[in-house]
Amino acid sequence: MKTIKLILASSLMIISLLLSAQPIIFNDSTIQNSIYTRAGIEPASMIGFGYQRNVNANFLRQTITLYAECNFAAFKFNWDNSELKIGAITPIYQIKSFKIINNFNLSLGSVVTQNFESKKFAFANEIAFGIYKQKWHLALTAEYEKIYLNYLAHSDFYKTTYYEDAVDGWYTGAGGMFQVGIEVGKTFYQKFDVNLELKMPVTEKFNAYLSPGHANLIIGYRF
C-alpha cells in the first residue's frame, strides 16, 4: 500500500511538473481574447491567472498572441511568492497543420524564505512543434529560461544563525534551466480550452532538480 501511494504521489508530482501550457488562440480568427487559469507544479505548487490577446502584426504578416499572467504559490498564496509574466506567441514556420511556435516571455518573480527574500528577473524562450488543428493541438516543447538578475535580502535569522556578513543586493549568475516536454490542448464548445503540459527540467549544467518534472493543467475561455 505504501509503495502504491509512493508511485501515485510520484506520478502526481511528475505530472504536475510538466504542466505549463496555455490555450493556443492565434489560429482562431473568430475571437481576439482569452482568459485562463492554470494549476500545477513548477517546481512548487502553483496557481496562475492569465489573459491573452491576438494582435495582427502587419510587419510579420501574421497574428501574434500577446499575454500576461500572474502565478502564485498554491500553498503560500500572496504577492511575496508570486511571478508576473508577459510574453508573445507566434508561429515561425507552418505547413498545413504542422507548425513551429515560438513563445518568448519575460518574468518578474518573488519568493520569501526563512533565509532570504529574492526578486528575480528572467527571460525564457520555448519552441513548440506539432500539429495544431482548429480544436486541438499536440506538440513537443523545448524551453530555456535564464535568470539574469536577482535582488537578495537576507533575513535576521540567516544573519544570526548562519552568516552575519551575508551581502544583500543585486546578484547575477543564478543560472538557467532547460525543459523539454509535451503539450496537448483541446477546445470544447468553441469557447473552452483545456491544456495539459508535462516537462522535464534540468539546470543549464544538466543537474537535476529535487522535482523530476513540471506539470500544468490550464482551463481557458475565449471571447
Partner 1 sequence: MKNLLIITSLIFLISCAKHDFDEPGNLLPKTVSEDPYLPRIEINGTVLHAESFGEIGNPIIIFLHGGPGSDYRSFISEKGLENASRYPDERTTKDAGLSQLQDEYYCVFYDQRGGGLSPRFDIGEVTFDIYLEDLNQIIDFYLTKKEEETGIADAQVYIVGWSYGGILATGYINQYPTKVKDVVLYEPGPYSVESREYYKAQKSSVFGEIGNNWLEEYLLSQDHLTPDGHERADYQYMLLPASSPGSQPEFHSDPNAPLWRSGALVRRENLDFSRSENFDITSNLSAFTGRMLFIGSDKVIGEIPEYPGIQMKYYSNSELITISGVGHTGPWEKPTEIASHIRNFFQ
Binding site for partner 1 (CB under 8 A): 5-6, 9-10, 13, 42-45, 73-76, 81, 83, 109, 111, 113-115, 118, 120, 147, 149-150, 152, 157-158, 160-167, 169-177, 203-205, 207, 209-211
Burial of 38 (0-12, 13-18, 19+ CB in 10 A): buried
- Cα separation, 18 vs 218, in Å, equals 12
Question: Toward partner 1, which CB reaches closer, 138 or 166?
Answer: 166
Closest distance of CB 122 from partner 1, Å = 8
Alpha-carbon distance values, 200 to 66, 102, 133, 208 (Å) = 25, 19, 25, 9
Question: Toward partner 1, which CB reaches closer, 11 or 33?
Answer: 11
Question: Toward partner 1, which CB reaches closer, 177 or 196?
Answer: 177
Question: Toward partner 1, which CB reaches closer, 104 or 116?
Answer: 116
Backbone angles phi, psi at 160, to 5 degrees: -80, -40
Closest distance of CB 112 from partner 1, Å = 8
* Residue 17 cell numbers, joined: 511538473
